[in-house]
Amino acid sequence: MALDSRTVIDRFHLTVPNLSLQNLDAPRINVETVQSVAKWTPVLIWQLTVAEMAVMGVAGQTACFNIVLDENGLPANVVELRAAGLSVRYGYDTFTEIAQFEKVWPEPQTNFAMGWGGRYWCQIDGAGGNADRVYGVTLRNSADVDDPNGHHATVIVWQFQKAIGVPITEPDKPVSGYTLVKLQKINEQLIAIDAQIAALTAVRQEVASWLQ
């Protein structure tokens, strides 16, 4: 039985355009971000417990499921992802591999199997190379009080986002004076907007939990 991606999307309200949300259930999982005006970034990282895996229909699996959203927060079409030359690059230590987008929504568009003991990293790979990288994905889940050493699947939701930070200036066109001050103010405003979005998202999730 496959993972129902739609349930994940509905549970975390991931159809909101340009949602900025990270649910880092496992403290060892972290994100290495890149400064870019347009990039792929994780908006949800969820390592399931054994009990949650049973509910989601993936009990015993060792996969890292990857769901890809477009700029508007809608599930990306697998044909378009492949046509754009995109895939998921993953690995650990010196091992590196590619997972092609093959699944049709509502299944996660791709996944890769994890081996016991591996601490995996992964990111969206393709033209441009602008993508954050997730580190520390493992089969073990220390947050699972019932079975921390069991097989634990991970769900990562990626979204294409624009206007993240301030555009990086070309070396031969230095920015100074009024332009530099203006860019700094824009960057400060973007940071403030991101903080407001995060706060509103937290409030929305809390209110939604009252209705469950």
The domain ranges of the chain are: 5-162, 167-212
Residue from 54, 28, 25, 62 nearest 152 by CA: 62
> Which token pair is 53?
């895996």
Q: How far is Cα 146 from Cα 175, in angstroms, rounded to an integer?
A: 55
Helix (H, G, I), strand (E, B) or coil at 103: coil
The pLDDT of residue 171 is: 41
Per-residue pLDDT of the chain (212 residues; tens, 9 = 90+): 468 899 998 888 887 765 656 665 556 788 898 888 789 999 899 999 999 999 899 999 999 999 999 888 889 999 999 999 999 999 998 899 999 999 999 999 999 999 998 999 999 998 766 899 999 999 998 888 899 999 999 999 999 887 544 333 434 444 445 555 566 667 667 777 777 777 777 777 777 777 76
Q: Residue 113: which H helix or E strand, with range?
A: strand 110-113
> What is the residue type of 67?
I
The pLDDT of residue 67 is: 96
The CATH superfamily assigned to 5-162 is: Immunoglobulins (2.60.40.10)
Query: To 5 degrees, how large is the angle CA 103–CA 110–CA 2?
Result: 65
The pLDDT of residue 23 is: 61
Please say whether the beta carbons of 177 and 62 come within 8 A. no
Integer angstrom CA distances of residue 152 from 53, 115, 135, 139, 173: 8, 11, 16, 5, 49
